[in-house]
Structure 1
Amino acid sequence: MKISIVTPVRNGKRFIRQTVESVLNQQGEFELEYIVCDGQSTDGTLEILAEYPECTVISRKDGGPFHAINYGMDLASGDIGAWLNADDIYLPGTLAKVARCFQEHPETGWLYGNCPIIDENGREIRRPITLYKELIGFRYSHNMLLCENFINQPATFWRMSLWRELGGLNSIYKAAWDYELWLKMAQKGPAIHLHADLAAFRRHAGSISENFFEKQFAEELAIARQYGNRIHGAIHAFNAWKIVTAYKLLS
């Protein structure tokens, strides 16, 4: 089984080494393809990437992360795919667990796992939020997903055949492309929740999630209303308000 990982990056010198090594250090019975799509970095990111000949590095002007992800996925030749942002990391043993799960469940098109939140120094933070998402997503539910996005992007993987069938990420959205992708995948079949910590999501002053979380949840609400019914939309609106309020207090 071949696993293709895509990392979009532009001026990600601060964390890119940790991200790359978390991918390349994965071991198991799988073949790894790692594609890094760089948006013409000028801060030394490319010099760091040059130290890792195992990566396929493509530096080109793009329209932002979703363009870079779609471009990298178009190049990917693996059976399984995922993207890992340039400040997040995989935990040891992740890809082996993912490969084994897909092999044991040939009917499954996608899966998600648990994803602790870490700070700029790699220390776990916001544990109550992580536990909350693990609780509501403990057993996959399409109705629950329409009411609240409990799936963590860094810990989500899919069969590349499903990605190609769906056509990749929708460029209409600026902060919630992943949520629409989950709902499109959900229309094709349910996900498996792999009950293990697969990745760590990093929140820091420069991250998209730290600076644009209100836009993200507004987009997620619009997406939920598009894919669900009035009840889903009403519950999602309440949950979005609840989460935005909590994030503002935490910030």
Structure 2
Amino acid sequence: MKVSVWMSAYNHEKYISQCLDSVLNQKTDFDFEIILGEDCSTDRTREIAIEYKNKHPEKFKLYLPEKNIGMMEMDIATWNLCTGEYIALLNGDDYWTDENKLQTQVDFLDNNPDAVMCYHKARVENETTGYVFDTVYPESGEELTAEYLLLGYNPVMTPTVMIRNIISVPDYYKDLPYGDMPLYLLLSQKGKIKYIDRVMSLYRIHPSGQWQGESVYNNLLKDIKFYEIMNEKLDCKYEHLINKIFRRDILILRYKALTVMIPDKAKEYF
């Protein structure tokens, strides 16, 4: 198998058909499989996924737990089902806008053996405001480094990514607060991360994903947990940089704790 399309979906009834159609409409000279984990949605997402599986049994592997297991456990379970030489990332609420996306990225990785991952420009749609824009990438050019990612300048949208299937999802993955960034960091230790300057995907921004009020505080706590774990797992290779990030995040936590409904938390960061 050349490519595994690694997908997860939860309460994506509104989007999942457009997403899956964008995968099935890919024009390729190789075989690909769709690995889809559906995490007990409260809408019709699972029903729709099963309908697609029944129509295209040769393409789909579904992972359908009996109860909601959460994003990280779902990622581990579905990753282990991927058999492709390459893995393309996609969530059920995004979609691919270019029918040659998979072929383009496979050709790129085939022709760039030093690259372990490639990603491309995306169109971003804010569902609340209707504002649409294209992602802007760093001036450093085609390669993305671990240092750049650790500083929080992550220009990578999930539906733009294709990686070589050369790493396993580690056991500590389930303890992390979010999933894509650890994979990018681990891959950056194996080779180069390169960029394709072409819009081939659409990424949606949902209101629930925006940092406002106390959610800013909580997300900063998640950031600190993430950096603590990854610092250890990367053998403290970037500890000097991570320490600077800790100082920045703790200063922000102090401010938020003092000003956003939770002043009793402020003393924890002094």
TM-score, normalising length from structure 2?
Answer: 0.73
- Where does residue 230 of structure 1 map in the other structure? 240
Query: 1:31 maps to what in 2?
Result: 31
Determine helix, strand or coil for the equivalent of 2:51. Answer: coil
Contact 2:10 2:40 in 1 (8 A): yes
Picking from 86, 97, 101, the partner of 2:92 is 86
2:221 and 2:200 map into 1 onto residues whose CA distance is 27
Q: Is the 8 A contact 1:221 1:237 kept in 2?
A: no
Per-residue deviation, 1:3: 0.9
CA separation in 1, counterparts of 2:44 and 2:239?
48
Distance 1:186 1:214, change over 3 A: farther
Q: Amino acid of the residue matched to residue 193 of structure 2?
A: A
The TM-score with structure 1 as length reference comes to 0.78
SS, match of residue 198 in structure 2? strand
Q: Residue 128 of structure 2 contacts residue 206 of structure 2 at CA under 8 Å; is this kept in 1?
A: no
Residue 190 (structure 1) aligns with: 192
Contact persistence 1:109–1:189 (CA under 8 A): yes
Q: For this pair of structures, how many residues does the alignment match?
A: 234
Asked whether the equivalents of residues 87 and 202 of structure 1 are also in contact (C-alpha less than 8 Å), the reply is: yes
- The CA distance in 1 between the partners of 2:71 and 2:145, in whole Å, is 28
Match of 1:101 among 94, 108, 111: 108
Contact 2:117/2:163 (8 A) holds in 1: yes
CA distance in 2, matches of 1:237, 1:155: 32
In the TM superposition, what are the counterparts of 1:18-57 in structure 2 within 5 Å? 18-52=18-52, 53-54=55-56, 55-57=60-62
1:154 matched to 2:156? The reply is no
Distance in 1 separating the partners of 2:220 and 2:97: 27
Q: Which of 1 and 2 has greater Rg?
A: 2
SS of the residue 2:197 aligns to: strand
Inter-partner Cα distance in structure 2 for 1:146 and 1:39: 29
* 2:176–2:226 CA contact under 8 A, matched in 1: no
Distance (whole Å) between structure 2 residues aligned to residue 50 and residue 223 of structure 1: 34
Once the two structures are superposed, residues 109-147 of structure 1 have per-residue CA deviations (whole angstroms, 9 ceiling, x without a partner) of 2222222211339965355xx22xx13563423322222
Which blocks of at least 5 consecutive residues in structure 1 are unaligned? Answer: 246-251
Kindly indicate whether the alpha-carbon contact (under 8 Å) linking 2:128 and 2:207 is maintained by their aligned counterparts in 1. no
8 Å contact from structure 1 (residues 203, 210) kept in 2: no
Matched ranges for 1:209-224 at <5 A: 215-216=218-219, 218-220=221-223, 222-224=225-227
Say whether the 8 Å CA contact 1:169–1:178 is kept in structure 2: no
Where structure 2 has 5 or more consecutive residues not aligned to the other structure, the ranges are 257-270
Instruction: Go from structure 1 to structure 2 and tell me whether the alpha carbon gap of 1:233 and 1:152 turns closer, same or farther (over 3 Å shift).
Output: farther
Distance in 1 (alpha carbons) for counterparts of 2:162 and 2:194: 10
> Is the 2:9–2:92 contact (alpha carbons within 8 Å) kept by the matching residues of 1?
yes
1: CA distance, partners of 2:186 / 2:193? 12
RMSD in angstroms over aligned alpha carbons?
A: 3.1
The amino acid that maps onto 2:145 is S
> 1:160-193: CA deviations, max 9, x gaps?
1x233x538711122x321122111111222112
Alpha carbons of structure 1 residues 222 and 29: separation in structure 2 relative to 1, 3 Å = same
Aligned-pair distance for 1:16? 1.0
What's 1:248 paired with?
Answer: none
Structure 1 counterpart of 2:12, which letter?
G
Q: Secondary structure at the match of 1:84?
A: strand
Q: CA deviation at 1:49?
A: 2.1
Matched with 2:170 is 167
SS of 1:188's partner is coil
Change beyond 3 A, Cα 1:33–1:123: farther
Identity %: 21
